[in-house]
């Protein structure tokens, strides 16, 4: 019985992953308002009923797609416990911490920046506004932890609150999309620029 239960759970998890991947592509291409559950189902190769059964509604699909994009997988591991975060925090050199921090955030932005932009543009919907606010708050929390760790390795040019806000702004999806999507920067150029800006701005 346990084997059958585990098999069903694994199939359900695989189905959710397929739906969120299809939703990410569809939302990114068509936007939130014009994307239907039917379009997501067709892209995922499942029925509309399966999408509704797995998520409930379109907002929940978008929120789940964002969670998966930020994490990079379906594991329920908090961001601050992710290996890339732990590796950056454990880095004894302040410059290397920032470089690893930017590298990790950059991979998140590769996956999630466009979805975050879609959510921000659709945030007249109260539930999506809440998703947007939660994402911003989470980003601020993570950058605050990085700023506090940095302050133990080097003298900061400013207070912790300003250092955190500076990191949030420089590593925001808006800044990333402006430079990468609109101005055509390669991701690697953004990564080098962002790390250099943070090092010059935060450390004496």
The pLDDT tens digits for 168-185 are 999 999 999 999 999 999
pLDDT at residue 111 tops 70: yes
Would you place residue 142 in the very low, low, confident or very high pLDDT band (cuts 50, 70, 90)? very high
Q: Do 97 and 43 reside in the same domain of the chain?
A: no
Q: Do 102 and 154 reside in the same domain of the chain?
A: yes
Would you place residue 74 in the very low, low, confident or very high pLDDT band (cuts 50, 70, 90)? confident
Mean pLDDT for the chain overall: 93
Q: Do 113 and 42 reside in the same domain of the chain?
A: no
| Cα 22 from chain centroid (whole Å) | 17
Expressed as residue numbers, the domain containing 12 is 1-75
**Secondary structure of residue 203 in the 3-state scheme:** strand
pLDDT at residue 108 tops 80: yes
Which region among 7-21, 137-151, 185-199 has the lowest average model confidence (pLDDT)? 7-21
Would you place residue 131 in the very low, low, confident or very high pLDDT band (cuts 50, 70, 90)? confident
Q: Final residue of a domain: which of 59, 75, 91?
A: 75
The pLDDT value recorded for residue 153 is 97
Structure-token match 């992953």, residue found: 17
Could you tell me the two tokens for 138? 């989470």
Q: Final residue of a domain: which of 17, 50, 75?
A: 75
Q: Dmax over Cα atoms in the chain, in whole Å?
A: 62
Q: Do 166 and 134 reside in the same domain of the chain?
A: yes
Which CATH number is 34's domain given? 1.10.357.10
**64 near 16, Cβ under 8 Å?**
yes
Beta bridge partners of 156: 203
Alpha helices in the chain (DSSP H): 2-30, 37-44, 48-55, 58-71, 83-90, 94-121, 126-151, 160-170, 173-177, 187-202
Beta bridge partners of 203: 156
Spatial distance between the Cα atoms of 22 and 178, rounded to a whole number of angstroms: 25
Taking residues 61-76, what's their average pLDDT? 91
Q: Do 93 and 183 reside in the same domain of the chain?
A: yes
**65 near 20, Cβ under 8 Å?**
yes
Would you place residue 3 in the very low, low, confident or very high pLDDT band (cuts 50, 70, 90)? low
CA angle 30, 12, 79 (to 5 degrees): 70
Q: Final residue of a domain: which of 75, 94, 119?
A: 75
Count of C-beta atoms within a 10 Å radius of residue 78: 10
Q: Do 81 and 69 reside in the same domain of the chain?
A: no
């Amino acid at each position: 019985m346990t084997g059958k239960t585990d098999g069903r759970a694994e199939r359900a998890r695989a189905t959710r992953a397929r739906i969120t991947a299809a939703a990410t592509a569809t939302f990114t291409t068509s936007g939130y308002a014009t994307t239907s559950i039917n379009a997501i189902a067709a892209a995922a190769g499942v029925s509309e009923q399966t999408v509704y059964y797995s998520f409930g509604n379109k907002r929940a699909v978008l929120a789940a797609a964002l969670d998966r994009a930020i994490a990079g997988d379906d594991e329920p591991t908090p961001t601050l416990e992710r290996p890339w975060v732990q590796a950056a925090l454990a880095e004894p050199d302040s410059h290397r911490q920032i470089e690893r921090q930017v590298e990790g955030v950059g991979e998140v932005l590769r996956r999630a920046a466009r979805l975050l932009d879609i959510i921000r543009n659709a945030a007249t919907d109260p539930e999506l506004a809440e998703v947007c606010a939660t994402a911003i708050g989470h980003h601020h929390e993570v950058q605050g932890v990085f700023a506090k760790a940095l302050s133990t390795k080097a003298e900061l040019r400013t207070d912790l609150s300003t250092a955190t806000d500076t990191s949030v702004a420089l590593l925001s999806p808006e800044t990333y999309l402006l430079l990468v999507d609109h101005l055509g920067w390669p991701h690697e150029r953004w990564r080098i620029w962002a790390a250099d800006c943070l090092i010059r701005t935060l450390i004496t």
